[in-house]
A and B are shown apart, each in its own frame.
Chain A
Amino acid sequence: MSIEVTNVTKKFGDFVALDDVSVSLPTGQLTALLGPSGGGKSTLLRIIAGLDSADSGTINIEGTDATRLPAQKRGVGFVFQHYAVFKHMTVAKNVAFGLEIRKRPKDEVKRRVEELLELVHLSQFSHRLPSQLSGGQRQRMALARALAVEPKVLLLDEPFGALDAKVRKELRDWLRRLHDEVHVTTVFVTHDQEEALEVADEIVVINEGRVEQIGTPDQLYDEPANDFVMGFLGEVTQLGDVRLRPHDIEVAVTPGLAGAIEGTATRVLRVGFEVRVTVATSGGDVTVVLTRTHARQLELVEGTKVWLTAASGATTVPAMVAV
């Protein structure tokens, strides 16, 4: 086990950012800390890095107790949401910073910087200043800078949060490939469930200072531990007394199946290849997602009477009592 977080609590005044959190993050994996903004995931990452300190609890990195170690002695690389580039240094100098601090020989520093810039595809920019780079390039530079010191753990705090959607997607794929090449234990914070599901080996869902569930993307999606995890990882609708995904509802235009819930399609909206239907039932509105072809077969239009059932094998959780 690489990083062991045990019973960590952190308060900012009255606000409880982390409430008795225990997590173990395995060596060599890419782990996502996923949760809504203000849920405590960034605080946890900063405590692991030593940039913040926990009120109580311990942090153990690769078998050494790091709870009282200052940030510069923890052997972690940290990548910030807003890049935190050293504005007055060239790209090469930025990447060399950690090595120069460690007083490595000049030729070794030079060779290593060249290697890393190659790795992040920035070789031709080595003499530029960060202000001459795009957001995505800056973040890749920050990543190279963090990797230069050969950290035991790489921590990324919403690394793609400040980038536009397209660059974000590119960098996401690139991070996954990079991790397959470099194999450093990596933890990244995100509030984007798609990002976490796509990139991570393992996801830790954090909400209101507590760990809601830990598991692989499949486990989380297929077997959510509770209503919150289910709702956070994808769209959810309520059918009768269970909550399930809108695409896991079977629609029939004739009554037949036992336990089917009767309703009327009140809104039919086509988005690309899928059709989103709002069905008014006695238990409230239900959202159903069908493929375009399927909707056509059923001749589903606004006002059509439908009977809804949960598809067999659908992921469901009991609905919470409405408050």
Chain B
Amino acid sequence: MVDVSTPVKWLLRLVAVGYVFFLVAWPVGLVVQHTFDAGFDNLTEALSDEQVVGALQLTLMVAVWAVVINLVFGVGISLLLVRFEFPGKRVLSALIDLPLSVSPVVVGLALLLVYNGRDGWIGPAAESAGFQIIFDSPGMIMATCFVALPLIIREVVPVLHEIGDDQEQAARSLGASTRQTFWRITLPSIKWAVVYGVVLSLARSLGEFGAVKIVSGNITGQTQTATLVVEAKYQNFQQQTAYATSFLLILVSIACLVVVAFLRPKRTH
């Protein structure tokens, strides 16, 4: 610990608290305040609006699918990165971090180029087979998967490194197959990292805006997720509904943070 005098300590605290207050707490608090400035009316009104309810359902569906897909691939890729040596491993590892640095809007555009139904690489073929990717849920799930890709992997990889492969080798020498070793030894050892990664991915997926806006086409009542509805309602001078929907998104985020806070200490034991 750096030794600093008491006034400096208080000043530093004030700066930190002030920074977070003006940047995060106040704006978020205002959204909550506006949601409830007419009691529960805004909330009940929003929840009786078909457009909002449909968007919330769509958001949940897209987010759950994206998390499930990322869970399977995330754990798989983590094992691949930690337990196996292969050419191109560093490239793969770098590519996994790409979604963190690339703007989601760019991700949306890129997916649009590859999968659109008119001149994309795969889109026309899929569309003629009766499977629409862009401007429909598959594209939205893909975009969400893309932006949330690194979250589970970056949680699981360090834990896999830390536990090493001794336990897995011991399980093998005791007669366990690869599958048995995974379910009985590897997964229980990394489960808190996986749960933590899932919670982060869920929060990220629910809040995705840019990439989804481009690939969904933002069609009212069909491909609008909750975040897109917030924007649409706000621009349509239905601010109260926009605030209420935002409040619901904030609520989910706080729930995620609470879950994470409960999980954090467990991981250190």
Contacts and interface: CB of A to CB of B under 8 A. Distances in A.
9 contacts: A50-B173, A71-B172, A80-B170, A84-B167, A84-B169, A85-B167, A86-B171, A98-B174, A101-B174
A80 B169 CA distance: 9
Contacts of A51: 169, 172-173
A72 B166 contact: no
A162 B184 CA distance: 26
Interface of B: 163, 166-167, 169-177, 180, 184-185, 188-189
Nearest to B171: A97
A49 interface: yes
Contacts of B174: 72, 77, 97-98, 101, 145-146, 148-149
A214 interface: no
Contact of B175 (A49, A86, A101): A101
Interface of chain B: mostly helix, strand, loop or mixed: helix
A78 B169 contact: yes
A187 B176 CA distance: 22
A187 to B, nearest CB: 13
A78 B173 contact: yes
A257 B216 CA distance: 103
Contacts of B189: 87-88
Most buried by A among B171, B175, B184, B189: B175
Nearest to A49: B173
A98 B180 CA distance: 11
Interface of A: 49-51, 70-74, 76-78, 80, 82-88, 97-98, 101-102, 142, 145-146, 148-149
A249 to B, nearest CB: 46
A41 B156 CA distance: 33
Contacts of B170: 78, 80, 84, 86, 142, 145
Nearest to A89: B188
Contacts of A76: 173
B173 A82 contact: no
Contacts of B172: 51, 70-72
A88 B175 contact: no
A85 B167 CA distance: 6
A88 B188 contact: yes
A87 B167 contact: yes
Most buried by B among A49, A85, A97, A145: A97
A73 B175 CA distance: 6
A273 B257 CA distance: 68
Given A101-B175, A146-B174, 15 more contacts: A50-B173, A51-B173, A70-B172, A72-B172, A72-B176, A76-B173, A77-B174, A78-B169, A80-B169, A85-B167, A86-B171, A97-B176, A98-B175, A145-B170, A149-B174
Contact of A72 (B163, B177, B184): B177
Nearest to B170: A84
Given A86-B185, A88-B188, A88-B189, A101 B166 contact: no
A17 B13 CA distance: 58
A145 B173 CA distance: 11
Contacts of B184: 97, 101
Nearest to A46: B169
Given A51-B169, A78-B169, A80-B170, A101 B188 contact: no
Contacts of B177: 72
A97 B166 CA distance: 15
A174 to B, nearest CB: 21
B110 to A, nearest CB: 39
A72 B185 contact: no
**Closest CB pairs A-B (n = 10):** A84-B166, A98-B174, A78-B173, A84-B170, A71-B172, A88-B188, A72-B175, A101-B175, A101-B176, A71-B173
Given A86-B185, A88-B189, A101-B180, A72 B167 contact: no
Contacts of A83: 166
A50 B172 CA distance: 9
A310 B172 CA distance: 53
Contacts of B185: 86
A77 B167 contact: no
B120 to A, nearest CB: 44
Contacts of B163: 87
A149 B175 contact: yes
A146 B174 CA distance: 7
Nearest to A81: B166
Nearest to A88: B188
Most buried by A among B166, B169, B173, B175: B173
B180 A77 contact: no
A19 to B, nearest CB: 24
B171 A77 contact: no
